[in-house]
Structure 1
């Protein structure tokens, strides 16, 4: 074709999609990495196909295989690409200072959660100096939409029909928690912040506020997690105000970034 590059054939498109799916799975494998059998099972690919694609990703330095454990990890090129993308897309880059302030002021654990299809992902966790902590959500944890204070805040920031459809899709994953979750969602919409009163782990409470993009859609959420006796109604009000303050600062940074790059 003289007027431009030929479109990629269907087989090539499929191979790219499969390779990117494997790359995403490797990234979620964390520090322990994932073996070939795990990656093949999770991706639905035959082991020879998965191995061939992993070799191609390895040649591009996007993944690497530990010689001792034979497990796959993200490669050095992904670190470079993440650094290049951080200023434009890395909400953690813009939220880190706010998280540190909130952890210092509250003494509790501050979490950054982002939407990911029908789930949410905990991007970061910063602990305050209060000696008793909750460990219901750790960095890298992936939960169904609406499960946890940050996830609930994200859900409440969506248009109601979209949020309700999302809850319907994750209902099999949520099970008996669904009625309480819908009730918590209604309260979050009314109050402007989400409260998780120990729904996931008894005694582990959380308060969350969405971080909006300029168009109003949720880019993520800040939340504070603490043991139940530190979440009195009076303190909830103080924490919610602090979360709104910092979420607003992050939202303004995201809006400024969009204006500069738009």
Structure 2
């Protein structure tokens, strides 16, 4: 007996999609939180609709409203859900040792980025002990595909046709940066690592290497961010070698989580 398709539920599905969009926006509001007007504007929803959905999310303990500021923050249930998801989507778990080693050896900021639809998301940031740091990318930041060293490394790890289609989709978000991005992408494919020579924030450079699943698809990217004078050509080569070493170790753990951790 064949299963019949589920009946369409346009209204309910739309409400769920809107609520999840608001939840994502609240999460990206950071420690300061976001007000109702900001959330309504960012989501494109009318204020009464946004408020009704936020009340529903609050009842589920997924969001909460600060009594003093009236701003919305993630609720305690999201913390629990994140913990449950960590074992399945645990690239941060597998990458943490590598990131700590890189931060210790280089003194610079180490970032872990993963693909997310037509964007990339910074999952983790670990800072080294060099006193001058770049803050162009923070944990939780979401950027269009190809924007930043880690994002560019992920893009370069895709088949050329797929990468070209992805660039075409994000072109309206990238704007005048597109010609430079295409040139940087070609260079990343040639070199095997991506370089962001201060494209987004002047003086803030980054170098990234893709982390691959066993089938070769990019699972994410490790990148090192530093101020421009710490990214000389000679040091770029040193950093790229370190990133390749650690990306390979993370890829091995993703392929076989039982792989023993290695401390180079």
Structures share fold, TM-score greater than 0.5: yes
- 2:186 is matched with 186
- 2:167 is matched with 167
Range that drifts further, 108-117 or 133-142 = 133-142
1:116 and 2:80 aligned: no
**Contact 2:28–2:141 (CA under 8 A) maintained in structure 1:** no
After TM superposition, give the deviation of residue 175 of structure 1 in Å: 2.4
- 1:126 is matched with 126
**Contact 1:27–1:74 (CA under 8 A) maintained in structure 2:** yes
> Separation in 2 of the partners of 1:157 and 1:238?
21
1:89-168 to structure 2, matched below 5 A, reads: 89-168=89-168
RMSD: 2.1
Range that drifts further, 111-120 or 53-62 = 111-120
> Separation in 2 of the partners of 1:171 and 1:10?
30
> Separation in 2 of the partners of 1:86 and 1:183?
36
1:70-85 to structure 2, matched below 5 A, reads: 70-85=70-85
> Separation in 2 of the partners of 1:135 and 1:64?
28
After TM superposition, give the deviation of residue 179 of structure 1 in Å: 1.4
After TM superposition, give the deviation of residue 90 of structure 1 in Å: 3.0
1:117-138: CA deviation from partner (whole Å, max 9, x where unpaired): 2222222221111122222222
- 1:256 is matched with 256
1:21 and 2:21 aligned: yes
- SS of residue paired to 1:215: coil
- SS of residue paired to 2:98: helix
- 1:37 is matched with 37
- SS of residue paired to 1:89: coil
**Contact 2:58–2:64 (CA under 8 A) maintained in structure 1:** yes
1:222 and 2:216 aligned: no
Query: Please, what TM-score do these two structures have when normalized by structure 1?
Result: 0.91
- 2:206 is matched with 206
- SS of residue paired to 2:221: strand
> Separation in 2 of the partners of 1:103 and 1:113?
16
After TM superposition, give the deviation of residue 14 of structure 1 in Å: 1.8
> Separation in 2 of the partners of 1:80 and 1:7?
32
> Separation in 2 of the partners of 1:199 and 1:123?
21
Aligned residues, how many?
257
Gaps of 5+ in 2: 259-264
1:3-42: CA deviation from partner (whole Å, max 9, x where unpaired): 8997573322222122111111111111111111111222
1:189-214: CA deviation from partner (whole Å, max 9, x where unpaired): 11111011222222222110011122
- SS of residue paired to 1:222: strand
> Separation in 2 of the partners of 1:223 and 1:6?
44
- 1:53 is matched with 53
